[in-house]
Amino acid sequence: MRQRCRQRILQPIPVPSLKLLLLLMPAVVHFSCGSQNREQTGVLPSPVELLPYSAFALDFPQSEFVQAKGLCMDENAIFISEQEGNWIKQYDHAGKQVDVFGGTGGGPGEFDSLTHLQERDGLLFALDYSHYINVFDDQKAFVDKVFLSSTVVETRFAVDEAMNIYIATPISTYPISVYDLNGSFKRGFGARLGDRPEEVQRLNDNARFLFLNKAGNLVSISRSKAHVEIYSREGELLHERQLQYTRRFRPFFNKVEDFYSQNPQKWSRSTFQAVVDAVLIDDKLLVLHVGETLNPDWDALMIIDVAGDHIGEPKDYVLKGKDGGKITSRLMTGMDDLLLIYDSRLNWIFRFRLPPSLFKGKTTE
């Protein structure tokens, strides 16, 4: 733009108009060359779009309800928890189903209401809404059932190298609790969020997606307030930040907030939530914060650096589905620069490449 401006200046100028042009030059330059700064005047640039490079269909029964409740992966496999029969289905990275285990019941490795999954050092941890975790080994054989003494919700949980389990306990004394593999409570911490009196609102405010970064600190983001916190493992709050949604999303979010403040009886029947899912990849916190229930036009992804005790500036991206169309995102997982998104409308998994600049140019085949 500046080059075009200079070219205009260097063109032959009729002498009678030279004085007038010099007087008008500041306004001309501000109008023609300063348009790139329009974001400061309220015109937002288009967000960066992420398009999938491949996809595969899941072998799930046909249903009008969301089928997958949990999604995780390692170097060899992709694991998905299926709501209909409480099954955990294993796929290879080509999208071929290779194993099914779990099921409904009270026996070893069975579930009442299977939700999220977490892989750690060859072990697969599967959370049940009924306050326990089934643990499976790298051959997917049942290892143990860990009973938790507190009420939990279906948010992501974290497991450290000592196999301590960090989990959201939003209606207990502590919003975040730590258990060992025997199910024994070790400690609790976390600040309560939100100022509404309704129990369901406090629960959603204090329900966390939890992750451990490379420094060993616990990264937490609340479900309905998008409040990011970093704690030491002992529970000391190191840093916190309230995320500010983009101006595209903010007006819609305010409308929903106003509606439920005026109609609190409808909140408990709502699927509205600010953070749909989150995942930590290479000290980058990926936050899926707009789903079909929030905005029918686009699904948004924030990527935030959370290395050490630092919380960086969010970068906004837009997720696109097949042929650049709509994607009804509900779950995600990833590793290196590979991101997997579950589309609950199609029962498909979409594969995305994350921007190389965020992940030091890593490539996952």
Which domains can be identified in the chain, with CATH numbers? 1-43 (no CATH), 44-358 (2.120.10.30)
32-40: average pLDDT:
38
Residue 149 — very low, low, confident or very high, per pLDDT cuts 50/70/90? confident
The answer to whether the beta carbons of residues 362 and 323 sit under 8 Å apart is no
Placement of tokens 């974290």 in the chain:
158
Residue 137 has pLDDT above 70, yes or no: yes
Q: Which two structure tokens, joined as six digits, stand for 351? A: 């594969």
Q: What gap in Å lies between CA 39 and CA 203, rounded to an integer?
A: 36
pLDDT bracket for residue 26 (50, 70, 90): very low
Report CA Rg, the chain: 24
The tens digit of pLDDT for each residue in 292-339 reads 334 445 577 889 999 999 999 888 888 888 787 888 888 999 999 999
The DSSP result for 264-333, as a single string, is GGGGGG----S--EEEEETTEEEEE---TTT-SS-EEEEEEE--TT-----EEEEE--GGG----EEEEE
**SS3 at position 150:** coil
Distance from CA of residue 103 to its chain's centroid? 27
Total Cβ atoms within 10 A of residue 14: 7
β-bridge mates for residue 167, sequence order: 177
Highest mean predicted confidence (pLDDT) among 160-164, 296-300, 341-345: 160-164
Average pLDDT, the chain: 78
Would you say 229 and 285 are in contact if contact means Cβ atoms under 8 Å apart? Answer: no
Q: Are 70 and 117 in contact (CB under 8 A)?
A: yes
Separation CA 105–CA 142 (nearest Å):
14
Query: Alpha-carbon distance 275 to 291, whole Å?
Result: 9
